[in-house]
């Protein structure tokens, strides 16, 4: 069955979730409510503010009941579980010491199983842990750890690993009781669970990440762990509950990472924090992970959110919930910022999608910025003055690409120019000449001002349009679009971009300007500007019902932050030269809608191709190695798509439906 969290398969069913206010449990409750279930959530105190987030979930007012219950109080559990079709047992007793936790954990699980048996529920799903699976010193590193493996209790006891000991004993006890009482039991064994917090407090697995960001630890451990997104864990619980054939245990993780890899990912996304760079154990070799398999849960339709996205969302959630302050400056970046102080650069078309991000990152790096806009007081440019450092170091200059004198004035006194703007012309056929003239004006003004370097935003459209190129040829920066082909196929965008870029290179040679060009593919990600740009509209139409099918087409995608950063990196790197293709991955439109549907099943996303007669188009082979050699590590395309949609929602361009119409119609 497909793992779709929105289908209303739970209508008319009541389930109990123990410890409903917890990290994983809150997500289980959320997804159950979205699927139409009625939920009885056990908490120690329904009036406690730490549980108030549960009643704010969609559908909670109508279908969520918070029941006062304690795992060690059998009668309270009995009352909560009575009349339920199923139980999700996620809770652990609140005991301070790990040694004191074991007996209550076992007793709590026993009480839940007994109450479930008495209530004759259809199925119990227990949240166990990978800690009940992998702790075995006698297992060879070559053995693939699967659901048949169990932690060695003596080893856990001898190494004082009370967490793994308790989880193993509790799960084994549950299986014994299930057999004796005839309870249909399924167990989920997640690894380190991270992702956005729904609850107001920081849980243990998130604390592990928080300490790397807030300076609480100066080194990272020589250790390996598996990571998984909390939404995937919650969805796994529901999928194994709803799938009649599901049985036994299910290991739940996306990927194994060494702690060194974790801090590297965090440092890339959040360089403003004092993230450790040294291992606490540098004498010994880096620990290698066990080999695990997650195939069993994947066979039920779970497609895991990438671990990089898990880490990114975890930190954003910590920031948004006030657990992690956003520093004005990263301590480790102060020297870099000082080095850039005193440098002034010009960004043309500063209010645009890519340009806004370039301005933002330049200000964060300490540059003074002169941004050209057609009208500095236009509200669509007001977001620029809200950036950190804008009041002190950003000047908005009234300029037009076709008005040479206005550009000359803006660029005068600058160390560099980032030319991102295109003239605002309604008719694409009439856009080409102004685009060429605008680029010529920028290059001439830059030459006159003797700027150190010009970075031009071109496009992949100036690279790949060539019908004579074999599909086996890897498209790189040496490739150019064929102008005759662009003209004959009326691809005026690619024609204009190619002519404008070629003109820029000719002028650079004549005027002695140091020019570097960035050629991005389709640029996605969060919008800083208030209006929706063309590439975001491409995604918006798949969500708002404007299109019913997707095209039989392939495109490259890249995150706007990576494109902006690429511009700055090629400006700052003395050895940078020529063109730089900027792409994370090629995707068929069918793959795009599949990713969107997984993240946002509540929208009427197309499932059919507009061209089903012909074979699915295959992508050209591109290389992005040249820009990667300068240190750019691309944000995964799945994360680009996710953040694009969240940004559309947050900026009011895409309403958040209470229920997906398609789901309602099918049930």
Q: For 106-126, what is each residue's pLDDT tens digit? A: 889 999 999 999 999 999 999
453 found inside a domain: yes
**Shared domain check, 348 and 294:** no
pLDDT of residue 329 exceeding 60: no
Detail the DSSP E strand segments found in 115-263: 123-127, 144-145, 185-190, 192-194, 219-220, 224-229, 248-252, 255-258
- Residue 265 contacts residue 204 (beta carbons within 8 Å): no
* 299 contacts: CB under 8 Å, gap ≥ 6: none
**Would residue 337 count as lying in a domain?**
yes
Cβ atoms < 10 Å from Cβ of 472 = 7
Q: Look up tokens 């890899």; give the residue.
A: 261
| Residue 492 falls inside a structural domain | yes
The answer to which of 104-108, 374-378, 533-537 has the lowest mean pLDDT is 104-108
Residue 625 pLDDT exceeds 90: yes
pTM for this model (two decimals): 0.60
266 domain-assigned:
no
The residues near 370 (Cβ < 8 Å, ≥ 6 apart) are: 344, 345, 346, 347, 395, 397, 410, 411, 414
What does the H/E/C string look like for 165-198? HHHHHHHHHHHHHHHHHCCCEEEEEECEEECCCC
242 shares a domain with 385: no
* Cα–Cα distance measured from residue 659 to residue 602, given in angstroms and rounded to the nearest whole number: 6
The CB density around residue 373, as the number of other CB atoms within 10 Å, is: 24
- pLDDT tens profile 486-495: 989 988 888 8
Give a yes or no: residue 593 inside a domain.
no
Residue 472 domain-assigned (yes or no)? yes
pLDDT computed for residue 96 by the predictor = 45
The candidate with the shortest Cα–Cα distance to 222, out of 274, 259, 175, 276, is 259
Q: What is the pLDDT of residue 430?
A: 63
Count of CB atoms situated within 10 Å of the CB of 179: 10
Domain residue limits at 575 = 331-523+558-583+619-635
Q: What is the mean pLDDT of residues 251-262?
A: 94
Q: Are residues 294 and 411 in the same domain?
A: no
Give how far Cα 542 sits from Cα of 336, 442, 603, 604, 646, Å.
42, 37, 9, 8, 14
Domain count, the chain: 2
Q: What is the dihedral of CA 48, 53, 56, 59, to 10 degrees?
A: -100
Q: What angle do CA 522, 641, 195 make, to 5 degrees?
A: 145
Distance separating alpha carbons of residues 251 and 145, to the nearest angstrom? 9
Is the domain of 188 the same as that of 297? Answer: yes
Say if CB 418 and CB 455 are below 8 A apart.
yes
Question: What is the mean pLDDT of the segment spanning 567-582?
Answer: 94
Q: Do 298 and 378 share a domain, yes or no?
A: no
Given a cut of 70, whether residue 95 has pLDDT beyond it is no
Q: Report, in angstroms and rounded to the nearest whole number, the Rg of the chain calculated over CA atoms.
A: 28
Does 553 fall in a domain?
no
Q: Pick the range with the lowest mean pLDDT from 126-130, 201-205, 583-587, 661-665.
A: 661-665
pLDDT of residue 264: 93
**pLDDT above 90: residue 44:** yes
| 235 and 359 together in one domain | no
Q: Same domain, yes or no, for 348 and 497? A: yes
Question: According to the model, what pLDDT value does residue 446 have?
Answer: 96
Q: How far apart are CA 642 and CA 229, in angstroms?
A: 14
Domain annotation covers residue 318: no
Same domain, 149 and 294: yes
Position 333 pLDDT exceeds 60: no
Same domain, 354 and 391: yes
pLDDT for 593 equals: 95
* CA gap 167, 161 in Å, rounded: 10
Task: Please report, for the domain that includes residue 137, its CATH number.
Answer: 3.40.50.720
Show the tokens assigned to 352.
């645009």
Residue 181 is among the residues annotated as catalytic for this protein: no
Shared domain for 366 and 233, answered yes or no, is no
Whether residues 500 and 570 fall in one domain: yes
Is 400 in a helix, a strand, or coil? coil
Mean pLDDT of 638-666: 75
Reported confidence tier of residue 103, pLDDT bands at 50, 70, 90: low
SS3 of 7-68: CCCCCCCEEEEECCCCHHHHHHHHHHHHCCCEEEEEECCCCCHHHHHHHHCCCHHHHEEEEE
Catalytic residue among 30, 497, 598, 638: 497
Q: Quote the pLDDT of residue 93.
A: 53
Residues 39 and 65 sit within 8 Å (Cβ to Cβ): yes
Contact 165, 123 (CB under 8 A): no
Same domain, yes or no, for 424 and 570? yes
């Amino acid at each position: 069955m497909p793992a779709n969290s929105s289908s209303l398969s739970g209508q008319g069913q009541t389930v109990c979730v123990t410890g409903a206010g917890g990290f994983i449990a809150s997500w289980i409750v959320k997804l159950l409510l979205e699927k139409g279930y009625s939920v009885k959530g056990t908490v120690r105190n329904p009036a406690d503010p730490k549980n108030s987030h549960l009643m704010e979930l969609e559908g909670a007012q109508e279908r969520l009941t918070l029941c006062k219950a304690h795992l060690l109080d059998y009668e309270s559990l009995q009352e909560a579980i009575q009349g339920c079709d199923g139980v999700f047992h996620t809770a652990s007793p609140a005991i301070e010491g790990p040694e004191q936790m074991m007996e209550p954990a076992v007793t709590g699980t026993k009480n839940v199983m007994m109450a479930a048996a008495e209530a004759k529920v259809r199925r119990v799903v227990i949240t166990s842990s990978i800690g009940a699976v992998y702790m075995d010193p006698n297992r060879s590193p070559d053995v693939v750890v699967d659901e048949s493996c169990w932690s060695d209790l003596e080893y856990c006891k001898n190494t004082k690993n009370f967490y793994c000991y308790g989880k193993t004993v509790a799960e084994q006890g549950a299986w014994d009781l299930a057999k004796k009482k005839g309870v249909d039991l399924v167990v989920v064994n997640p690894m380190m669970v991270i992702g956005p917090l729904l609850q107001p407090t920081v849980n243990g697995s998130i604390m592990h990440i928080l300490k790397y960001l807030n300076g609480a630890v100066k080194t990272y451990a020589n250790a390996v762990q598996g990571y998984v997104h909390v939404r995937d864990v919650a969805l796994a619980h529901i999928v194994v509950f709803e799938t009649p054939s599901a049985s036994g245990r299910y290991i739940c993780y996306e990927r194994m990472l060494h702690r060194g890899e974790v801090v590297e990912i965090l440092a890339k996304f959040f360089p403003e924090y004092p993230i450790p760079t040294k291992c606490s154990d540098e004498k010994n070799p880096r620990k290698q992970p066990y080999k695990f398999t997650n195939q069993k849960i994947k066979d039920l339709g779970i497609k895991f959110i990438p671990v990089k996205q898990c880490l990114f969302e975890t930190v954003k959630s910590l920031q948004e919930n006030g657990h992690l302050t956003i520093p004005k400056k990263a301590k480790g970046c102060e020297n870099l910022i000082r080095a850039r102080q005193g440098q002034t650069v010009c960004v043309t078309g500063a209010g645009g999608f890519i340009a806004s991000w370039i301005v933002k990152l330049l200000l964060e790096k300490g540059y003074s910025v002169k941004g050209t806009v057609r009208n500095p007081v236009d509200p669509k440019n007001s977001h620029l003055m809200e950036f950190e450092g804008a009041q002190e170091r950003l000047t908005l200059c009234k300029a037009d690409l076709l008005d040479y004198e206005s550009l000359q004035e803006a660029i005068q006194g600058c160390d560099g120019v980032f030319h991102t703007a295109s003239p605002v012309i309604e008719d694409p056929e009439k856009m080409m000449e102004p685009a060429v003239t605008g680029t010529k004006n920028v290059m001439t003004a830059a030459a006159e001002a003797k700027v150190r370097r010009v970075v031009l935003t071109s496009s992949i459209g100036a690279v790949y349009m060539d019908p004579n190129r074999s599909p086996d040829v890897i498209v790189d920066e040496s490739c150019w679009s064929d102008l005759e082909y662009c003209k004959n196929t009326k691809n005026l965008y690619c024609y204009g971009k190619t002519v404008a870029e070629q003109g820029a290179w000719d002028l650079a040679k004549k005027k002695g300007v140091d020019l570097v060009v960035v050629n991005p593919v389709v640029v996605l990600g969060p919008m800083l500007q208030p209006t929706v740009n063309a590439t975001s509209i491409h995604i918006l139409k798949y969500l708002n019902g404007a299109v019913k099918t997707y095209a039989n087409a392939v495109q490259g995608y890249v995150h706007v932050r990576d494109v902006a950063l690429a511009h700055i990196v090629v400006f700052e790197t003395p050895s940078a030269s020529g063109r730089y293709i900027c792409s994370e991955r090629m995707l068929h439109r069918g793959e795009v809608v599949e990713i969107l549907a997984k993240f946002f099943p509540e929208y009427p996303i197309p499932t059919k191709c507009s061209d089903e007669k012909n074979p699915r188009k295959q992508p050209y082979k591109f290389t992005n190695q040249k820009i990667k050699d300068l240190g750019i590590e691309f944000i995964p395309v799945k994360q680009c798509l996710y953040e694009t949609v969240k940004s559309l929602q947050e900026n009011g361009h895409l309403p958040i439906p209470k229920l997906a119409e398609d789901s309602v119609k099918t049930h």
